[in-house]
Amino acid sequence: MKVLVLNGSPKKQSDTFRLTDAFLRGFNRSGEHEVTVINVIEKNIAPCRGCFGCWQQMEGHCLIEDDQNEILDLYRTSDLIIWSFPLYCYSMPSHLKALLDRTIPLVKMRMEQLDDGTVRHEALADFSKIHTLVICGCGFPNWEGNFDALKLMCKNCFCGPDIVCVPETPMLNVPAAAIVADPLLAKFEKAGEEYASKLTLTPETVAELERPMISAEDYIRNVNGG
């Protein structure tokens, strides 16, 4: 499989990417998959100008001459796309959102209505053949409410994505927290193996990956220096 990993953290080795890296170790244990990691912060990707010139040309490319068109070529030829990023203001970091906004050349202006009443743009690329996994970490101590907006956006933007949202990820770079952080990394590695065999994650696996490492009370006390 061709795997495209979009690392949306401003840092190459972020807390969230440690989870993604563990997942990839399990997923590509056989070494048979072609994995491309793009550190989006290093790319020159301008905001979408809303000119819709891409819909006039219908070539799957943007009229802006920057790094996005290379990413679009990788995007539509990938079998699996992993979006890895920390939660920023209940969504994704702005430089990654710019990349997402600039995927509009991969759809048409023409709209279609699905059986459930949802209206969307017709696809220029065959998104049904692209598997999508979202791995998002945050510094909050729990899951409830913090990822709701992000999950809705990802479900609407991607075709049947698997979404894993992990709280308390700053603990991954605290040596004293290794006793709870290392088991979580091991779970992500095992989840990668599961995904390699099934191309999806069971609800039970997602629940395990999203389970807070320590209680909210202990986490807040540690963050606040108490």
Check: CB of residue 2 under 8 Å from CB of residue 80.
yes
Mean pLDDT of 41-45: 98
CA distance 22 to 188: 6
**Which residues fall within 8 angstroms of residue 161, CB to CB, at 6 or more apart?**
132, 133, 134, 154, 155
Mean pLDDT of 214-226: 90
Check: CB of residue 85 under 8 Å from CB of residue 16.
yes
Mean pLDDT of 165-191: 96
pTM exceeding 0.85: yes
Kindly report, residue by residue over 188-202, the tens digit of the pLDDT. 999 999 999 999 999
Handedness of CA 144, 148, 154, 160 (dihedral sign): positive
- pLDDT confidence of residue 75: 96
Kindly report, residue by residue over 200-217, the tens digit of the pLDDT. 999 999 999 999 999 999
Q: Does pLDDT of 11 surpass 90?
A: no
Kindly report, residue by residue over 84-113, the tens digit of the pLDDT. 999 999 999 999 999 999 999 999 999 999
- Note every long-range contact of 168-171, with CB atoms under 8 Å and residues 24 or more positions apart, other chains counting: 168/139, 168/140, 168/141, 168/212, 168/213, 168/214, 168/219, 169/15, 169/16, 169/19, 169/86, 169/137, 169/138, 169/139, 170/15, 170/139, 170/223, 171/15, 171/213, 171/214, 171/219
Structural domains in the chain, sorted by start:
2-223 (3.40.50.360)
Check: CB of residue 98 under 8 Å from CB of residue 64.
no
Q: What is the distance of C-alpha 12 from the center of its chain?
A: 15
Phi and psi of 63, rounded to 5°? -75, -20
- pLDDT confidence of residue 125: 80
Q: Does pLDDT of 41 surpass 90?
A: yes
Q: Does pLDDT of 64 surpass 80?
A: yes
